[in-house]
Each structure stands twice: as structure tokens, then as C-alpha cells.
Amino acid sequence: MNIIITINKQSKVPMENTNIAVVTGANKGIGYAIVEQLLLHPTKYSVFLTSRDTQRGEEAMANLLKKYPEFKNRLHYHQLDVSSSKSIDNFVQWLEDNQKTVSLLVNNAGIFYQREIRPNNGNFEFVDFLPPEDTKRIIQTNVRGLIELTEKLLPYLADDGKIINISSLAGELWWQGEAVQNWLSDSRLTRQGFFDLLDTFEQAAYKQQHPALGYFGSIYFTSKAFVNAYTRFILPRLLKKNQTGFAVHPGWIQTDLGGKEAPGKIDDSYVSTLAIVNLSLEDSLKLSGRYFDEFGKLKDF
Ligand code: NAP
């Protein structure tokens, strides 16, 4: 095998061009835990911890390197704000300049405003509409940014590369009205049709009129439903023969996003992701485009 060794300009550490994993939003919470698990994984990934804020990312790097000094040649950092085209382009240019291919992309970065939703008897009830700027931020980060990064990274995805979208139970279609369920589960959904639906949803949501179209009140919940529809219908058509893509629910986990009342601990949060990482190529190809619960079990969207 031809192994190219180059210097990672940002971390100044020599790295091999084999089994590179990239995790977005990895300075804390579930993304950070996934980085740690990928370092410990027998595949011996070269892991890119990425974050929108460089200082927070470097603090996370320092914490991990303190815990695992033995991984200093396999842990790398790059700034990556998935809501910024410039930041995405910068990262992709780095892959180009350094002739890197990515074996695993974990699209983990996400935002949620807790004032939208309140837990109620083991379920959640919608509480309040968000102002347009927060609505825009959620859709930009959770949906548009995830897609922009994914599609710009595709030319650098290994021939058997995997993409794991950290979605949520919140994205399951039963939260949505019948019309939305039909639109987002239609196997004829095109990429253009997907973005037309997203635009219509976003415009309605700015005026707090999206429930009238059949959407659940929470922008976060619907953002994850769009991530699922993209994973199910659009992404598979963009992938090469042995490349695969999945959506997973990490569990309701105690993080800044999940809140203190969440039943799951951080060590529960990577079970579903690792289940997908561990799939053989044969099983990956059979299951590509599907959605998995927090235990790594196949589930309906
Ligand atoms: P978290 O602790 O709040 O961490 C979210 C991470 O995403 C942070 O590193 C944050 O960076 C980053 N981020 C936000 N906007 C970003 C952007 N534009 N570009 C790059 N990174 C960005 O949340 P978490 O619970 O770990 O959530 C991780 C993923 O799991 C999310 O996609 C979330 O929707 C999903 N999820 C979580 C739960 C749960 O119960 N926790 C349940 C279902 C799904 P900063 O530190 O700079 O803000």
C-alpha cells in the first residue's frame, strides 16, 4: 500500500493518509466523546477534531492529549464552522493541498434552543416559537451546513468511505403532520425538490406559520426530519458504489444541548455511531440510507 506522509500544517504532526475520520462540533458533548472512541477504535483512525471556535477546539485537544499522550500522532485539529461556506472551503482546500482522503465523516455539529420544547410525561411538548434569526441559525447549521460540508467533501471521500449524520428521535416523521410525512418519505424526492421544501418551510417558519403547512412547531425537530430525508433519498444518489451514509439517534443525553434532565450519560451517546462504524462493507451497503436508534438498532424514519 502506498502511504503518503505529510505534515498537518495546523497541528505540525506527521500523519498517514489512511483512515482519516472527521468529526464536526467536537470540542464538547457527543462529538468530543465520538473523537475519543475513534482514537480508541482498533481501526486506529487519524482523527480530526474540528470546532467552529479555535480556542474551544484547542482546549478540547489539550484535554484529550493530556489523557492520551500516546495518540498525539493520530489526533489532529482543524477549524470548521459548518454554518460558514468560507470555513468549509478552507477545510476542503486543506484536504486538497495535502492530498487527503476521508474514510469517515461524522456530521455531529448541531444547535437547539431548549425554550422550544418541554419534556412532559416521557414525551415532549412544543412550548414557543423562535424569532427568525434563531430559526435561520438552526436550519443553517443542522441542515444546510451539514449538506454543504458533505457535498464539498465527497470528492475527498474514500472509495469505501462512510458518512454518519447525527440526527435525532426528534427527526422521526410521526412528530409531523400527514402532508409533511408524505413529502419527506417520498422516494421520488429530488435534490431540487428537497431544497424547495426546505425553503418553503423556512419562509413559513420566519412568520411562525409552518404548523399550518403540517410541520411540528419545533424548528429543531423539523431540521432533523430534513436531515433524515436527505440521508434517505438524496445522499445515496451522490455516493460511489462502495460509499455509504447513515442517520443515527445518539440517545437523549446529558450535554449542554440535551439538558440536565436527560436520562442518558455521555458514554451512552456513541453506541449507535460505533455500531455503524463497525458495520462490514457488505452490511454497510445493505443498510446505507437508513436510520438507527440509540442502541444501533435499525428503525423506521
Ligand atoms: P452540545 O454539547 O451542545 O455540542 C454541540 C457541538 O456542536 C458543540 O461543539 C458546538 O460548538 C457545535 N456547533 C454548533 N454550531 C456549530 C457550527 N456552526 N459549526 C461547527 N460546530 C458547531 O450538543 P450535543 O448534545 O453533543 O449534540 C451533538 C449532536 O447530537 C447534535 O447534532 C444534536 O442535535 C444531536 N443530538 C443530541 C441529543 C442529546 O440529547 N444531547 C439528542 C439527539 C441528538 P460550540 O461549543 O462552539 O457551541
Residue located nearest, by CA, to atom 8 of ligand 1: 25
Q: What is the predicted pLDDT for the residue at 16?
A: 55
Q: Are the C-beta atoms of residues 204 and 136 closer than 8 Å to each other?
A: no
Of 52, 167, 249, the residue with max ligand 1 atoms within 8 A of its CB, to mutate for a pocket test, comes to 52
Q: Ligand 1, residue 252: give the atom nearest the CA.
A: 40
Nearest to 160 by CA among 199, 105, 210, 107: 105
The pLDDT of residue 17: 58
CB of 185 within 8 A of CB of 301? Answer: yes
Q: pLDDT digits over 236-275, tens only?
A: 999 999 999 999 999 999 999 999 999 999 999 999 999 9
Which residues of the chain have a pLDDT value below 70? 1-17
Query: Cβ(103)–Cβ(21) under 8 Å?
Result: yes
pLDDT of amino acid 122? 81
Rounded distance, CA 202 to CA 144, Å?
Answer: 11
| CB distance 300 to ligand 1 below 6 Å | no
Query: What are phi and psi for residue 300, nearest 5 degrees?
Result: -75, 150
Contact 292, 299 (CB under 8 A): yes
Q: Say yes or no: CB of residue 52 within 6 Å of ligand 1.
A: yes
| Residue located nearest, by CA, to atom 36 of ligand 1 | 168
Cα(72) to centroid of ligand 1, in Å? 25
Residue with cell 475519543: 36
pLDDT at 164: 99
Q: Please check whether residue 109 is in contact with residue 167, taking contact to mean a CB–CB distance below 8 angstroms.
A: no
CA pair distance 30, 45, nearest whole angstrom:
18
Pocket test for ligand 1, best of 34, 108, 141, 163 (most atoms within 8 A of CB): 108
Nearest residue to 220 via CA among 268, 246, 259, 189: 259
pLDDT of residue 18: 75
Q: How far is the CA of 78 from the centre of ligand 1 (A)?
A: 17
Second CATH level (architecture) for the domain 20-299: 3-Layer(aba) Sandwich (3.40)
Residue 277 CA to residue 45 CA, distance in Å, equals 11
Q: In angstroms, rounded to a whole number, what is the distance separating the alpha carbons of residues 40 and 147?
A: 28
CA 253 to ligand 1 center in whole angstroms: 11
**Ligand 1 binding pocket includes 106 (Cβ within 6 Å):** no
Distance (angstroms) between ligand 1 centre and the Cα of 255 equals: 9
Using alpha carbons, list the distances in angstroms from residue 155 to 8, 231, 279: 20, 18, 23
- Size of the chain, expressed as the number of residues it contains: 301
Following DSSP, what letter does each residue of 154-195 receive, concatenated?
A: GGGEEEEEEEEEE--GGG-GGGS-HHHHHHHT-TT--HHHHH
In terms of DSSP bridges, do strands 102-107 and 157-166 run parallel, antiparallel, or are they unpaired?
parallel
Distance 6 CA to ligand 1 centre (A): 31
Helix boundaries (H) for 16-160: 29-40, 54-67, 85-97, 132-139, 146-153
Q: What pLDDT is stored for residue 83 in this prediction?
A: 98
**CA–CA separation, 108 and 110 (whole Å):** 6
Give φ, ψ of 270 to 5 degrees.
-105, 5
252 lines ligand 1 (CB under 6 A): yes
Q: Using alpha carbons only, how large is the chain's radius of gyration in Å?
A: 19
pTM value > 0.85: yes
Show me where the domains of the chain are located. 20-299
pLDDT of residue 121: 86
Query: How close is the Cα of 132 to the center of ligand 1, in Å?
Result: 20
Ligand 1 neighbour 117 (Cβ under 6 A)? no
Q: How far is the CA of 27 from the centre of ligand 1 (A)?
A: 9
